[in-house]
Structure 1
Amino acid sequence: MRQAWQGAFGALIAFGSYTATAHAQLMIVGNDEKLTIDDAGKSLPHEPGHDTLSIIDISKPDAPKIVASIPLMNTIAGPPTNLAIHPSGEIALVANSLNPESEGTGWKNVPDDKVFVIDLKANPPAIIATVNAGKQASGLAIAPKGDLALVANRAAGSVSVLSIKGKEVKVIDTVEIGAAGDQVSAVAITPDGRRALAVKAAANKVALLSIDG
């Protein structure tokens, strides 16, 4: 029997509304379908193209309901904050850290830079834009006001700054905070929106960033 390893990519909860369930509390879950693990603990890689994003209504915690599932490339490699729901509940952001490429008879992972913008108000929810952040876009965070997002670029030693206006998301700046080998893997924004913390995993350090505007 083969046990599927999926859903571990991450999940974030936020308040929002979905067309079919007004004012629902939603959770999004990225499902990496490129790997299964057998009963002996052996990893079994599979061809890409089967990943999905599940959108779950958790308004009733004892009876969660999947309201939509859309095809979306994503990866289990990375912190659990590779995805987030906007404070308005209108959109979600999902970063794809790695992409598999064929190598001989198998697959190898190479860094990706894509951040997908998901329209949660559409029926059904759909990808409306793809933003190119930095190499191996990993952990991300959306500011409390919802006007910007930060993306940690693990293989670039940088943080991408994304502006958010309604459902329009675009890169407006890139902040270099270390060497590529530092592995800038995750980022968090303080509740007042004035500062951010970025984790340099390989360097065992945390960078403090100031947010102006």
Structure 2
Amino acid sequence: MSRPPRWALALTILAASALPAVAQIAVSGNDSKRRLENGVNRVVSDATTDTATIIDLGGRAPRVVGEVPLSHSVVGPPTSVAITPDERYAIVTSAERLDPANSSRTVPDNRVQVIDLRATPPRVSQVVEAGAGPSGVSINRAGNLVLVANRNAGTVSVFRFANGALAPVSTVTIGNATSSPAHVQFTPDGRRALVTRDDPAGSFVSVLTVEGETVTKTDRDITAGIRPYGMGITADGRWAVAANIGRGGGDADTVTLIDLRREPYLAADTISVGPTPEGIQVSPDNRHAAVTIHNGSARPQGHPLRGRGQLVMLRIDNGRLREVARAPIGDWAQGIAFSRDGRTILVQNMADRNIAVFRFQDGRLTDTRQRIAVNGGPAAIRTADAPTRR
């Protein structure tokens, strides 16, 4: 007799009760359609459903408290999940789906999903359409406006968010269909947003103006490193960091620090971190950025450019970036999330299908050896934006 998939068992357990009250949650979006098999990124045609895993960060050790079936994708930066400031809802994008005509390949998706985290059990409460390839998503601090970067359309979708539901407002053109807007993020004051563009021909971070529900692209494009992809903005609104994934040739790639203290915003520093920095997030105290680098870990065994994935900690210090710690992680690592006190760091190991738990204190990284198993490859993770700390 065949056994039901683990996500089905998890949902059966969750159906008995609502999500318990927690001090802080993270939501991990997991892609079951793709697997890394000895350096080959393979589409799994008979995969189980994608999922979102809800993790409680409020206890002594992070723990899973819920799981929701939905559609998700590793395509795009690992910021394709966002959580409302009150932690009531999560918004998850889906950049690709299995081709209905040929399940051995994928096609661009356009779906954006709302998860009601306090339903019994947590569930997808709404599905809306954005542009082709919706990837990075962000919610403003007021919790009433949502931006989605559409990588395959060259646009950003603007949504109103009220009473737990998204309503389309407008579409902002960033460039042509190949301009590849990867992630979009509000500044903490809600007056601006930054868009990373990983088109090799551009390698810009574009600036948007936000006035109420009116979002427009300015003529300011900040020159970052090659192919800016993931991005984080400090809670005090002073700095942004962009992870520049480069051309994938095994060369050392970079992270760019952007000065947001005055306009026009300017790139202030760029530091080499290693090959393919994909995930990036800033610490709640505004002082550090955590970066995951692939370091060739997605290449086949025995390949001369294969290495061990790395978690790199950078210090933001007087307008400069400097490395303060580094530790090995799993293959094809994706997103990063901090606990509110900045001492616990979650790192998604896509190939290993788990989330590693690190401690960061006094400038030192410690691998706790805890691994949180998820159903699918963990592809994006976020917490609610931290309150401003100065």
Q: TM-score range by the shorter chain?
A: 0.7 to 0.9
For residues 88 and 177 of structure 1, the distance between their equivalents in structure 2, rounded to whole angstroms, comes to 30
Structure 1 equivalent of residue 287 of structure 2:
none
Match of 1:154 among 138, 151, 156: 151
For residues 79 and 20 of structure 1, the distance between their equivalents in structure 2, rounded to whole angstroms, comes to 28
Structure 2 equivalent of residue 206 of structure 1:
205
Over 3 Å counting, the alpha-carbon distance change for 1:44 and 1:209 in structure 2 is closer
Structure 2 equivalent of residue 59 of structure 1:
58
2:66 partner letter: A
How far apart are residue 130 of structure 1 and its match? 0.5
For residues 42 and 181 of structure 2, the distance between their equivalents in structure 1, rounded to whole angstroms, comes to 28
Tell whether 2:174 aligns with 1:165: no
Provide Cα deviations, 1:161-189, integer angstroms capped at 9, x if missing partner. 01011202111111112111111111011
- Partner secondary structure for residue 178 of structure 2: helix
Tell whether 2:207 aligns with 1:197: no
Structure 2 equivalent of residue 21 of structure 1:
20
Gaps of 5+ in 1: 1-17
How far apart are residue 103 of structure 1 and its match? 6.4
Structure 2 equivalent of residue 33 of structure 1:
32
- Partner secondary structure for residue 59 of structure 1: coil
Provide Cα deviations, 1:60-110, integer angstroms capped at 9, x if missing partner. 2x4222111111111111111100110011111000001121666x62221
- Aligned residue pairs total 193
For residues 119 and 102 of structure 1, the distance between their equivalents in structure 2, rounded to whole angstroms, comes to 28
- Partner secondary structure for residue 162 of structure 1: strand
Give me the CA root mean square deviation: 1.8
Structure 1 equivalent of residue 70 of structure 2:
72
Are the counterparts in 1 of residues 43 and 105 from structure 2 also a CA contact under 8 Å? Answer: no
Structure 2 equivalent of residue 4 of structure 1:
none
Match of 1:107 among 104, 107, 132: 104
Percent identity of paired positions between Structure 1 and Structure 2: 38
Over 3 Å counting, the alpha-carbon distance change for 1:152 and 1:20 in structure 2 is closer
Superposed counterparts of 1:120-159, under 5 Å: 120-159=117-156
How far apart are residue 147 of structure 1 and its match? 0.8
How far apart are residue 23 of structure 1 and its match? 3.9
For residues 133 and 99 of structure 1, the distance between their equivalents in structure 2, rounded to whole angstroms, comes to 14
1:178 partner letter: G
For residues 102 and 84 of structure 1, the distance between their equivalents in structure 2, rounded to whole angstroms, comes to 28
Are the counterparts in 2 of residues 49 and 73 from structure 1 also a CA contact under 8 Å? Answer: no
Which protein has the larger Cα radius of gyration, Structure 1 or Structure 2? 2
- Partner secondary structure for residue 211 of structure 2: coil
Structure 1 equivalent of residue 181 of structure 2:
184
Structure 2 equivalent of residue 82 of structure 1:
80
Provide Cα deviations, 1:93-136, integer angstroms capped at 9, x if missing partner. 000001121666x6222111110000011021000100101111
Structure 2 length-normalised TM: 0.47
For residues 147 and 102 of structure 1, the distance between their equivalents in structure 2, rounded to whole angstroms, comes to 34
